[in-house]
Amino acid sequence: MHTREQALAVLYSAEQLCSAAFVSAAVARVAEEITTRLGERYPVVLSVMGGAIVFAGQLLPQLRFPLDLDYIHATRYRNTTQGQDIAWKVMPKEDIKGRVVLVVDDILDEGHTLAAVRAKLLEMGVAEFYCAVLAVKDTGQPKPIQADFVGLTVPNRYVFGYGMDVKGMWRNLPEIYALKE
């Protein structure tokens, strides 16, 4: 557990990459792109907890078409800054077989978590898989999956805010920050 002072020290030493207005505009653009592509469908939207909670919470009210909403919880970070093996905390429900599924996640980093989510959902029989991410990290390396809908691109640094955390802190920020290198 961190103290308030430790959390503030992390924030004050970080660099803001994206303003709240910039992030909000990116979410609105993603909502328009999703509506254009899936608005005539009846998808199941699966929010990946806990990072996608802010993105999903801002995105969903802008999707003005019928959809079902559920969540899954798969993680590699477990409140650390280094990825580990994938841990499934909440699996997808069985009623997604034959459905169009849109997975909403916070960031496409190396892509291992989202690729594992896609593999699991396809194994469970989804008809079509789409994914929307708030951010794609420019790692300079190939990823095992590409997002269908992307809000913004961030540099290859540890980023936080707007649902993304740094050691469990600062998911609640409306901006996106990066730790100092």
* pLDDT tens digit sequence for 96-110: 999 999 999 999 998
* Confidence (pLDDT) at 51: 86
**Model pTM?**
0.91
* Confidence (pLDDT) at 95: 84
Once rounded to an integer, what is the mean pLDDT over residues 87-103?
Answer: 87
Give the burial class of 83: count Cβ atoms within 10 A of its Cβ; 0-12 exposed, 13-18 middle, 19 or more buried: middle
Q: Which of 55, 50, 48 has the alpha carbon at shortest distance from 23?
A: 55
Q: Please report, for the domain that includes residue 81, its CATH number.
A: 3.40.50.2020
109 in catalytic set: yes
41 vs 124: CA distance, rounded Å: 20
Q: What is the mean pLDDT of the chain?
A: 91
CB under 8 Å to 129, separation ≥6 — which residues? 101, 103, 118, 121, 122
* Confidence (pLDDT) at 14: 97
30 vs 91: CA distance, rounded Å: 26
* Confidence (pLDDT) at 90: 86
29 pLDDT tier (thresholds 50, 70, 90): very high
Exactly one of 70, 109, 138, 165 is catalytic; name it. 109
Q: Name the domain count of the chain.
A: 1
Q: What are the beta bridge partners of residue 61?
A: none
Whole domain around residue 52: which residue ranges? Answer: 4-178
* Confidence (pLDDT) at 77: 56
Once rounded to an integer, what is the mean pLDDT over residues 56-65?
Answer: 97
